[in-house]
Amino acid sequence: MFEKRCYLCGGKLADGKCIDCGLDNTRNEKMTYRLNQSSSSRMAKERSHIESTWGKHDRSGEGQKSADNTNAPRAAKHKSSTDRINPPVSLGKKAGTQQNGNVLKAAGMILVLVVMVSGIVFNMKKQYDESLPADYGNVTLVEDEDPYQFAERELLAEGEDYRVTLDPGEYRVGVHLPEGNYQVILDDGSGTVSVDDYENSIYLWQGIGPDEEYDELKEWIDVRLYQGAMVEVSGNLRVEFMTENGRTDCMEEQTKNPLTEQVVLKKGTELTAGKDFPAGVYDIGSGGGWTNIRYEVPLYTDYEDEEMNFLSRSRFVSADEIDSVYRNTVLPGGTKICALDADARLIPSEVIETEDYDAYYDEYR
């Protein structure tokens, strides 16, 4: 067993006091010691105690104040160390800063692209402008051409008052109505009126009706009709032609149509004029319903494209309307005709221009 000695000088003890130096060693015996525990371990334990105190919800309460008062020096020391290792960071501020940076980068890229595209477009436009004629863009307004500028003569001012009402059909000037300067006045319905004068190069077309939104006219003035011109009224339209200088003295003598028998056109059945029925001039009438009638007139030409050797036309007729009859259709021999949608009729017209039916289409050859 070890002999106890003085902690100060190592002398022998008597009743706890040193014989040599007189130190009372009983006071020091009351101190406790732990093996294998250094001062650094003790400091770590104290640091753990301080950090656990900071983690409680009453950080600003009395417990926090007690910890601060009891361990003020050590707590300050360890807190500053902790701050240096893990400084406080505001995550919201950092994320916002990063997002703003991304937006600025994207905006910069878009601006660069805009500048590049603008430069390319500018160069292309410059090259295109340089390729244009020097006077390009100097627009000169041109007035509507005079449709009668190629007429070989002026219509005479003298003549007779003349009026005639026309339904859908084809009418020859000098046969069905006299030469003159006309007003075309709406009587009923709506449709179109056209004029084809190959001799005087006059080609007119006008919508006639009550609807001004579609450029229809109720009255069409200064319509000059020369001898031999063809007038067509189409659609569900009835019009009145009126003139004050009609050349009735120049009209050809009307020839009564030699045909008297009607021809029935069965739906979908093709007939040939001169073979299945007599060639001639007919009014195409409805058989009781709406239908499209198509016919092909042989021109006896020798074009490589076979379709150019025929004149193809369509006529529409309905029941119980103005357009239930289309008048004065010339069907020479060899003409093929068919009613596509319903039965129809061929009714001999009242008067004809000539029995030389092929000559009617000479202007197309």
The pLDDT of residue 18: 78
Q: What percent of the chain has pLDDT over 90?
A: 56
Confidence check: pLDDT of 359 > 90 = yes
3-state secondary structure of 308: helix
Give the residue, 357 or 122, on which the prediction is more confident. 357
CB atoms < 10 A from the CB of 290, how many?
14
The pLDDT of residue 3: 64
pLDDT category at 143 given cuts 50, 70, 90 is low
- Could you give all domains of the chain from N- to C-terminal order, each with its CATH number? 1-32 (no CATH), 160-250 (2.60.120.340), 255-364 (2.60.120)
Average pLDDT of the segment spanning 109-131: 71
The pLDDT of residue 254: 83
Confidence check: pLDDT of 230 > 70 = yes
The pLDDT of residue 64: 45
pLDDT category at 100 given cuts 50, 70, 90 is low
Candidate ranges 108-117, 136-145, 312-321; pick with highest mean pLDDT? 312-321
Q: Which residues contact 333 (CB under 8 A, 6 or more apart)?
A: 273, 274, 275, 279, 357, 358
pLDDT category at 132 given cuts 50, 70, 90 is low
Lowest average pLDDT, out of 49-58, 216-225, 294-303, goes to: 49-58
Could you read off the pLDDT of 163-172 as tens digits, one per residue?
999 999 999 9
Average pLDDT of the segment spanning 10-28: 72
Give the residue, 3 or 345, on which the prediction is more confident. 345
What does the block give as tokens for 248? 């009735």
pLDDT category at 6 given cuts 50, 70, 90 is confident
Q: What is the dihedral of CA 45, 47, 52, 57, to 10 degrees?
A: 160
The pLDDT of residue 358: 95
202-209 contacts, C-beta under 8 A, 24 or more apart: 202/147, 202/148, 202/150, 202/151, 202/226, 202/229, 203/147, 204/147, 208/184, 208/237, 208/239, 209/237
The pLDDT of residue 27: 58
The pLDDT of residue 24: 73
Confidence check: pLDDT of 10 > 70 = yes
What is the DSSP annotation of 264-277? EE-BT--EEBTTTB
Could you read off the pLDDT of 272-321 as tens digits, one per residue?
999 999 999 999 999 989 999 999 999 999 999 999 999 999 999 998 89
Lowest average pLDDT, out of 68-82, 203-217, 253-267, goes to: 68-82
pLDDT category at 138 given cuts 50, 70, 90 is low
Average pLDDT of the segment spanning 187-204: 97
The pLDDT of residue 22: 74
The pLDDT of residue 217: 97
Confidence check: pLDDT of 113 > 90 = no
The pLDDT of residue 257: 97
Give the residue, 361 or 18, on which the prediction is more confident. 361
Q: Is the pTM of this model over 0.75?
A: no
Confidence check: pLDDT of 26 > 60 = yes
